[in-house]
Amino acid sequence: MNQRVDSWLGLTARVLLGLVFVASGTLKAAAPAEEFALVIESYGLVSSRDLILVMSAFLPWLEVVFGYALLFGFLTRLSAAAIGGMVASFATAILYTILKGIRLPNCGCFGFGFTPTPHQELAMNGLYAVCAVQALRRGAGRLSLDAWCKTGGPTGRT
């Protein structure tokens, strides 16, 4: 593949995935943590109420932080790996509900504003996984804070 096209595909994957996670985390963080806790509880995977409350308070902020890091190309490979891990765990949880026949009122993916079906959510997670792998494989690219830090900032001096 042409190196220029490959570079733009990597940038597009990184930016889109970052935007998705910033939006997803922000929508959940803006709502009361108890609402997200009820969604986590409905999956039936975590039995400790205390752990559910901790997850509902921190998971949205992890999505926002790693989403922004990926969006701006800061610690890109670490951010892509973290988001890839989240995507894998989300897909596993959705697959569990499908296999167990658990009907979720809301997957909790984007707060309460968007409620895809479990199969749609699996497809979206597949796309997110592809984007995370691309960001992990390609790194940040030239249009990133990683590249800016590597070259010594706007002056290009190291």
Domain extent, residue 43, equals 3-150
In a domain, 112, yes or no: yes
- The answer to whether residue 156 is domain-embedded is no
* 158 part of a folded domain: no
* pLDDT at 46 (0 to 100): 94
pLDDT number for residue 154? 59
Decide if 41 is inside a domain: yes
If the chain, 158 residues long, is cut into consecutive pieces of 10 residues, what is the mean pLDDT of each piece?
Answer: 76 95 94 91 94 96 98 96 97 94 85 81 95 91 88 62
DSSP code for 107: -
> d(Cα 18, Cα 129) in Å, to the nearest integer?
12
Burial class (CB in 10 A: 0-12, 13-18, 19+), 2: exposed
Total domain count, the chain? 1
Residues with Cβ within 8 Å of residue 19, at least 6 apart in sequence: 67, 71
Contact 20, 67 (CB under 8 A): yes
